[in-house]
Chain A
Amino acid sequence: MKQPFPNDQKFAIVLVGLTLGLLIGLQVRTLGLQKASIGSSRATVLMERLLKAQEEITQLREEVDKLRQQIRDYERAMAEGRAATERITAELNKLRVMAGLTKVRGPGIIIWLTDASKPLSPDNPSLGIVHDTDLLMIVNELRNAGAEAIAINNQRVVATTAIRCVGNLITVNGVPVSPPYEIAAIGDPNKLKEGLMMPEGIVEQLKTLGIPINITQRQDVIIPSLSVTPRLELARPIEQ
């Protein structure tokens, strides 16, 4: 036992001693660390929980990313929707004016005319009377001159309006109107007047027949909305 060791034995002893010491030290230290931080029996439970929590974190991160993307999409859609709503509202207002669904005001003219008190020729008294066709021609002329809204005796004239003779009465929108007639139009007052006063135009013709007619330009003309609701039963829009 006491004899000196040969070199290879020394090497073996050193190697084994180092390894053994390292193992013991590692083991003692890691076990000590575990016991210091948490009860060793709870360690596995907590480890499982840790792994699960880490998994959950990754899942939740993915979800956050997904939701952020969704928010971006919604925001973009909202911005587009707001612009679209404004466009639609503007369009709707324009169409409501054109369809006569709202009372409107603006610069324009008022044409006043009535039947002649003394017919030009006694054999043909109808010559001195304002006919439905006369009103139609005036309306036509006003439209040609760019009138945006027209009313005859407060009856709004729109695309579906009929002006016709029933017996000895004229009806507008099915409502009888009687002389004196007052035609109101909104548009450029000068253009409207020029259109009506054209040489050999409708006003000149009526004047020749002795019908009193009077045109006044106004900066503020108020035209009421349509008194009846236009019906739409058969016409369907065609998608383009």
Chain B
Amino acid sequence: MWLGLLALLIGLILGLWLPSLAILPVTLQQQLPNYLGLALLAAIDATLGAWRANMEGTYDTGVFLSGFFVNMIAAASLAYIGDLLGVNLALAAVVAFGTRIFNNLAVIRRILLQHWRQRMTRVG
């Protein structure tokens, strides 16, 4: 758990520091957030999915890792193809991932609530 948080922190610092190097051309820097945001959404979705799977006892590291990276790349690519075609495919990704994020959150919340109630009855 702490290892994960530490990795997150290091990644965060790295991410905040990299753009200040100004390696990327201005035009790319302008478009980057559009795709990066979608990839981020996919990553959050995969992480929440893994949490839920872990709680339901169906967690599989291979599924989690592959889903994490493939979804990320797929979401960004979808947005890029949508830009090329002039269709806002990014919206589809946002809706799909957003729905799943809320679903997963709901399931996690319910399971957590169940655990808490069980513990309360055992204590009580």
- Is A95 positioned at the interface, with any CB of B under 8 Å from its CB? no
Binding site secondary structure of chain A: helix
Chain B nearest Cβ from A44, distance in angstroms? 7
Which segment of A5-13, A59-67, A117-125 sits at the interface? A5-13
Residues in A6-48 with C-beta less than 8 Å from chain B: 8-31, 33-34, 43-44, 47
Question: How far apart sit A16 and B26, CA to CA, in the bound complex (Å)?
Answer: 28
Chain B nearest Cβ from A232, distance in angstroms? 74
Question: How far apart sit A26 and B21, CA to CA, in the bound complex (Å)?
Answer: 12
**Interface magnitude class on chain A:** 20 to 34
User: Which of B4, B16, B36, B40 is the one whose CB lies under 8 Å from A16?
Assistant: B4
Residues in B with CB closer than 8 Å to A13 are: 3-4, 7
- CB pair B16–A30 under 8 Å, yes or no, is no
Interface centre among A9, A15, A20, A34 (most CB of B within 10 A): A20
Question: How far apart sit A17 and B27, CA to CA, in the bound complex (Å)?
Answer: 29
- CB pair B15–A26 under 8 Å, yes or no, is yes
Question: How far apart sit A22 and B43, CA to CA, in the bound complex (Å)?
Answer: 11
Interface centre among B9, B37, B61 (most CB of A within 10 A): B61
Question: How far apart sit A15 and B7, CA to CA, in the bound complex (Å)?
Answer: 8
- Is B39 positioned at the interface, with any CB of A under 8 Å from its CB? yes
**Interface magnitude class on chain B:** 35 or more
- Is A51 positioned at the interface, with any CB of B under 8 Å from its CB? yes
- CB pair A25–B13 under 8 Å, yes or no, is yes
Closest B residue to A28 by CB, please name it. Answer: B16
- Is B12 positioned at the interface, with any CB of A under 8 Å from its CB? yes
- CB pair A21–B30 under 8 Å, yes or no, is no
Residues in B14-52 with C-beta less than 8 Å from chain A: 14-20, 26-27, 29-30, 32-33, 36-37, 39-40, 43-44, 46-47, 50
Closest B residue to A13 by CB, please name it. Answer: B4
Closest B residue to A18 by CB, please name it. Answer: B11
Interface centre among A8, A30, A31 (most CB of B within 10 A): A30
- CB pair B40–A27 under 8 Å, yes or no, is yes
Residues in A with CB closer than 8 Å to B68 are: 16, 19
Residues in B with CB closer than 8 Å to A27 are: 15, 33, 36-37, 40
Question: How far apart sit A14 and B69, CA to CA, in the bound complex (Å)?
Answer: 14
- Is B85 positioned at the interface, with any CB of A under 8 Å from its CB? no
Residues of B within 8 A of A (CB): 3-20, 26-27, 29-30, 32-33, 36-37, 39-40, 43-44, 46-47, 50, 55, 61, 64-65, 68-69, 72
Residues of A within 8 A of B (CB): 1, 8-31, 33-34, 43-44, 47, 50-51
6 closest A-B pairs by CB: A25-B15, A21-B11, A17-B7, A21-B12, A13-B4, A17-B8
